[in-house]
Structure 1
Amino acid sequence: MDVLIDVFVGLHIIGIASLLGGFLTQMKAMGAGNARMVPAMLHGALTMLVTGLVLVGVHESQDDHVNNVKIGVKLAILVVILVLVYVKRDEEKVSKGVFGAVGLLTVANIFIATLWH
């Protein structure tokens, strides 16, 4: 079961890398007011959602301790990210505020995952 968990953790990291990488590739465009939500951002966020749910399910099925408050906060942040990216995915230009919020929330989710024990 540990191998399964490790595979899904790896996929979860790939999802966050896709979301953050998509944001970072648009930073220069954000400065010019031309940023857009790229497909990698949506796909990364969806990957995070699916793999995160699987990881929680696997841990719960093994009676491992799961910090439900932490998972709830991370899920709430991810849902906000998903809504923003999904709603704005077809727009040619996204406002700096909305685009910046996606980046800030993504980084917040990373630090919650790594620093909250």
Structure 2
Amino acid sequence: MDVLIHAVVGLHIIGIASLLGGFLTQMKAMGKGEARMVPAMLHGALTMLVTGVALVGIHQSQGDTINTVKIGVKLALLVVILGLVYVKRDEENVPAPMFGTVGALTATNVFIAVLWV
């Protein structure tokens, strides 16, 4: 079961990398007001959602204690991120504050995962 958990965590990290990488590649365009939500951002957010739910399910099936408040906060942030990326995915230019919000919420989600014990 440990191999499965590690594989799903690896996929979760790939999702984070895709979402954050898509954001970082558009930083220069954001400064010019030409940023857009690239497909990698949508796919990364969806990967994070699916693998995050899978991780919670795997841990619950093993009887592990789960910090439901932490998971709820992370899920809420991810739903907002996913909503913003999904709604603006077809627009050529996304307003800089909205685009920056996606990056800030993604970074916040990473720090919650790492720092909240």
TM-score (norm 1): 1.00
Alignment of 1:1-117 (within 5 A): 1-117=1-117
Quote the offset at 1:46 in angstroms: 0.1
**1:11-52 deviation digits (Å, cap 9, x = unpaired):** 000000000000000000000000000000000000000000
> 3-state DSSP class of the match of 1:71?
helix
Question: How many residue pairs align between the two structures?
Answer: 117
Q: Structure 1: which amino acid aligns with 2:77?
A: I
Q: What amino acid does structure 2 have at the position aligned with 1:14?
A: I
Alpha-carbon offset, residue 64 of structure 1: 0.5
Question: What SS does the aligned partner of 2:105 have?
Answer: helix
* Identical residues among aligned pairs (%): 77
Kindly report the root-mean-square deviation, in angstroms, between the aligned alpha carbons of the 2 structures: 0.2
Unaligned runs of 5+ in 2: none
Runs of at least 4 residues off by over 4 Å:
none
Equivalent-residue separation in structure 1 for 2:46 and 2:73 (angstroms): 17
- Which secondary structure state, in structure 2, belongs to the residue aligned with residue 37 of structure 1? coil
User: 5+ residue gaps in structure 1?
Assistant: none
SS state at 1:65 partner: coil
Find the aligned partners of 2:7 and 2:101 in 1 and give their Cα distance.
29
Three-state SS of the structure 2 residue aligned to 1:20 is helix
Shift of 1:5: 0.2
Q: For 1:69 and 1:43, how far apart are their aligned partners in 2?
A: 25
CA distance in 2, matches of 1:66, 1:17: 24
Please tell me the residue identity of whatever aligns with 2:109.
N
What displacement does 1:111 show?
0.1
